[in-house]
Chains A and B, each alone.
Chain A
Amino acid sequence: MPKPKIAIVSASGCRACETTILDIHYGVNALNRWSDIRFWPYVLGSSMAELNAIDRLDVCFFSGAIATEADRELAQTMREKSDRLVAIGACAAFGGMPGLKNLRKSAETGSSEGDGLPEGLELPAPEKTVRALDGLGGVDRVDAVVPGCPAPVNLVWAAVSALVCGGEADARITYAAARLPEEMVRPILSGLGPPSGAMFAGEKAVCATCSRKKEEKRFKAVKRPYQAYESAGRCLLEQGLICQGIATREGCGGLCTGVGVPCRGCYGKPPAVYDPGAKMVSAISSTFETEKPAEIQKIADDFVDMTGCFYRYTLPSQCMLMKG
């Protein structure tokens, strides 16, 4: 049976998700045993001419945000050629942190319109940037998503194993480690492969896996992470820190909160939450200890940059109006 043909590509981003595939240590060489890596510009220097010569790919792992016209064209080409297109990391899944750029006006960034060189100047011109940065899902249909910033090694390897290795022994171990929902694990183990639109992460909120002690949520004051707080032990939100575990999909095991740093939502929202920002506002405001309007106003005034905080990784996919 021929090995599945795969491609690994990045649009605009930091490469951390793409290199996660290298970070499976000995795994990247073993991956070659199960698959035919046909296109990987970052590691193999594969050119677009090589891609054009490929009729069909079984799986494409795509990371990075759509920030330039070249990124958009690459995403469309990979969609056309690939049976399965997998978004790896928060940038490909939701637009990611680069999506914060959409909060600034194009006049401020100076790079959205009128890119390139003055006419007649015989120098090569850089690619044009897109009007508003987006995730892969903003360009075309995505078959599976591995969220996270960066996407963690265990979940990436679970996706690679499920989609490429076809349920070989190594893959089975990874499924257990990956804490995937049972509804997804069963079709993978049965050999059918993950369902279309599969999310390689958990279904509940980060709070479900966070090891911090939750007592009673009574929000007294907003605390900033540079101020004093209990870095070990108690729920960060209960201490007044804006921690988004309550509005974020689990799968990381409470990685940030485990090291005493508030969650910022890089796995996107869980299925039960419609809008992570609204969920956070609702969750916090419903637990204000005081009922006096002046004191409530005082607490509210202390919140800073709610949009940049609550949509740190998901602004392009959550806030469609920002796309102008």
Chain B
Amino acid sequence: MTMQETTTYEPLKGQDAPCRVRVVPQNGGQKTYFQATGYLDPADLCIGRPVEELPRILSIRSPAHHLAAARLLDRLFGVEPPDIAKNMRDALLQSLTLCHHLRNLHLMALDPDDPFPDHRFSAKPAGKRAAKAQRRAETIMRALGLAQDAAAILGGRSDHPLTAIAGGVSRFLKDGYYERLTEIAEACDPLVREIDEFFREELLAEDGPLGHLDDAAVGRPLGATLMDGGIILRDGAGKEMDKFPPENGPEKIEVRTEPWSRLPFALLKGESFLVGPLARRGDESDANGKLTAADGCRALLADLITTAEGMAELYQKKNFIGPAIRTVPETMGTTAWAALEGPAGLIVLGATVDGKGIVESIRVVDPIQINNGVRCRIAEAVVAEGLAQNRSHTDIKRRLENSLLPF
């Protein structure tokens, strides 16, 4: 089937930036556009502000941007945070990773016919499907609640965290929090394993509600990840192609704008690339060189378990006690670059400041821009597959929504 007139899929569930997929008839076929319709340029918020405010301002882009901006401050001021501060930042990052992945998985797991299952008080007993949906939703919510609790303890609050500052963190943990963090890590582990199990065995199964995530495939893109302070670029087969420090980002990462989308596209070696859980697990690339949304979902699940294991190791009192929580800067540079492997993928920040530490320019390259290209291709593949199979508008929209969430 080909489109005779322009079709729009809007809004799309779970998309942080306002966006839509528009399919336009063209030359007897059709062309699919994944369009971001709203976009707030970080430069509009950051230029003219004191540089030390960047962790708080950029946190509205994602909680991980708070930590990336704190790293930028460390480099600008030439300070190294004490071990306890590094541990607290890493621990916060782990809790934010859980929050990010669980939020996306929750949205994917929602049953469109019964999105908020709550059958304990209903007059009729719940059917098997409804009971399972409720159990799944509650398990994800329970894990999310724990992760948010950890993020609030470590970051001051789970969204828009506060505590990462130049040279460390802003305060020691309160007495009762050490034990609480250990309890959280212990409670998270079985929950994320249960989530992994029901996703793989029920939701992602061929006849499961997310079985369709395997239907539309695109060529495996390049993947970039931060490792040992350097950005590593891998090809679709997982082979290392390049490695460079974050400060080489401006010359390596090109940012291109298109007239049909508000959101720019980040390119490496002239190609769009992928960041996030799938790129982090680059050594597990599919042998056939194809990428599906199901691969993205399985990478989220694997990352969830790895993160929970990391929490069990790090969330111990001994890692959060020490003589100092920050190194107070004595000098300030004028330019700095920093990178962070955030929950959704690589974040690269660069800033220049004047003599009073006021931001003169800022560059933010993050998963929102980087994965934009891959999301365009996924959207194109899902629409093409849907039209080839004569699927309904509603069916294609639901498939699009679920397929874009892992990226």
A-side residues, CB < 8 A to B, are 12-16, 19-20, 22-23, 25-26, 28-33, 37, 41-48, 67-68, 70-71, 97-98, 100-101, 103-104, 109, 111, 117-118, 121-127, 149-150, 152, 224-228, 231-232, 255-256, 258-261, 264, 304-305, 308-309
Residues of B within 8 A of A258 (CB): 156
The smallest C-beta distance from B224 to any residue of chain A, in angstroms, reads 24
Residues of A within 8 A of B262 (CB): 126
Q: Which residue of the partner chain, among B148, B157, B158, B328, contacts A227 with CB atoms under 8 Å? A: B328
Q: Which residue of the partner chain, among A26, A67, A126, contacts B35 with CB atoms under 8 Å? A: A126
Determine the distance from Cα of A218 to Cα of B6 in the docked complex, in whole angstroms.
Answer: 66
Interchain CB contact under 8 A, A126 and B52: no
Judged by a CB distance under 8 angstroms, whether B269 is at the interface is no
Interchain CB contact under 8 A, B16 and A15: yes
Q: A31-B116, A46-B11, A124-B24 are in contact. Are A12 and B38 (CB under 8 A)?
A: yes
Q: Which residue of the partner chain, among A15, A127, A304, contacts B357 with CB atoms under 8 Å? A: A304
Residues of A within 8 A of B110 (CB): 43-44
Determine the distance from Cα of A103 to Cα of B46 in the docked complex, in whole angstroms.
Answer: 11
Interchain CB contact under 8 A, A97 and B60: yes
Q: A68-B38, A109-B41, A126-B262 are in contact. Are A256 and B49 (CB under 8 A)?
A: no
Interchain CB contact under 8 A, B160 and A37: no
Residues of B within 8 A of A26 (CB): 138, 141-142
Query: Chain B binding site: helix, strand, loop or mixed by DSSP?
Result: loop
Q: Which residue of the partner chain B has the closest CB to A15? A: B16
Determine the distance from Cα of A100 to Cα of B45 in the docked complex, in whole angstroms.
Answer: 5
Judged by a CB distance under 8 angstroms, whether B291 is at the interface is no
Determine the distance from Cα of A106 to Cα of B110 in the docked complex, in whole angstroms.
Answer: 41
Fill in one digit per residue for B220-255: 1 if any A CB lies within 8 Å of its CB, else 0.
Answer: 000000000000000000000000000000000000
Interchain CB contact under 8 A, B107 and A29: no
Interchain CB contact under 8 A, B48 and A43: no
- Near A by CB (< 8 A), chain B positions 31-58 give 33, 35-38, 40-41, 43-45, 47-50, 52-53, 56-57
Fill in one digit per residue for B119-147: 1 if any A CB lies within 8 Å of its CB, else 0.
Answer: 00100000000000010011001101100
Interchain CB contact under 8 A, A232 and B358: no
Judged by a CB distance under 8 angstroms, whether B61 is at the interface is yes
The smallest C-beta distance from B347 to any residue of chain A, in angstroms, reads 15
Interchain CB contact under 8 A, A47 and B10: yes
- The stretch from B167-175, B281-289, B334-342 touching chain A is B167-175
Q: A231-B171, A260-B170 are in contact. Are A308 and B48 (CB under 8 A)?
A: yes
Interchain CB contact under 8 A, A45 and B358: no
Q: A29-B116, A98-B40, A101-B45 are in contact. Are A45 and B12 (CB under 8 A)?
A: yes
Determine the distance from Cα of A100 to Cα of B58 in the docked complex, in whole angstroms.
Answer: 13
What are 22 A-B contacts with C-beta separation under 8 Å?
A: A23-B144, A26-B138, A28-B141, A29-B116, A29-B118, A32-B116, A37-B115, A37-B116, A42-B14, A98-B40, A100-B49, A101-B41, A101-B45, A109-B43, A123-B33, A124-B22, A124-B33, A126-B261, A126-B262, A150-B157, A256-B162, A259-B170
Determine the distance from Cα of A149 to Cα of B261 in the docked complex, in whole angstroms.
Answer: 28
Q: Which residue of the partner chain A has the closest CB to B137? A: A29
Closest 8 CB pairs of A and B: A45-B13, A32-B116, A260-B170, A101-B44, A259-B156, A16-B159, A41-B11, A226-B166
Q: A124-B22, A304-B357 are in contact. Are A25 and B145 (CB under 8 A)?
A: yes
Determine the distance from Cα of A122 to Cα of B260 in the docked complex, in whole angstroms.
Answer: 10
Q: Which residue of the partner chain, among A32, A100, A126, contacts B44 with CB atoms under 8 Å? A: A100
Residues of B within 8 A of A126 (CB): 35-38, 260-262
If A304-B356, A309-B53 are given as contacts, then 11 extra A-B residue pairs at C-beta distance below 8 Å, sorted by A number, are A16-B159, A97-B45, A100-B44, A117-B260, A123-B260, A126-B262, A150-B157, A225-B166, A227-B329, A304-B50, A304-B357
Interchain CB contact under 8 A, A97 and B162: no
Q: A29-B116, A231-B170 are in contact. Are A224 and B16 (CB under 8 A)?
A: no
Judged by a CB distance under 8 angstroms, whether B397 is at the interface is yes
Q: Which of B26, B41, B106, B162 has the most CB of A within 10 A?
A: B162
Q: A46-B11, A97-B45, A226-B165 are in contact. Are A12 and B18 (CB under 8 A)?
A: yes
Q: Which of B47, B167, B261 has the most CB of A within 10 A?
A: B47
Interchain CB contact under 8 A, A45 and B397: yes
Judged by a CB distance under 8 angstroms, whether B366 is at the interface is no
Q: Which residue of the partner chain A has the closest CB to B31? A: A123
Interchain CB contact under 8 A, B171 and A14: no
Q: Which residue of the partner chain A has the closest CB to B20? A: A124
The smallest C-beta distance from B344 to any residue of chain A, in angstroms, reads 13
Q: Which residue of the partner chain, among B12, B44, B357, contacts A104 with CB atoms under 8 Å? A: B44
Residues of B within 8 A of A46 (CB): 11
Q: Which residue of the partner chain, among A43, A101, A111, contacts B107 with CB atoms under 8 Å? A: A43
Interchain CB contact under 8 A, A125 and B48: no
Judged by a CB distance under 8 angstroms, whether B209 is at the interface is no
The smallest C-beta distance from A19 to any residue of chain B, in angstroms, reads 7
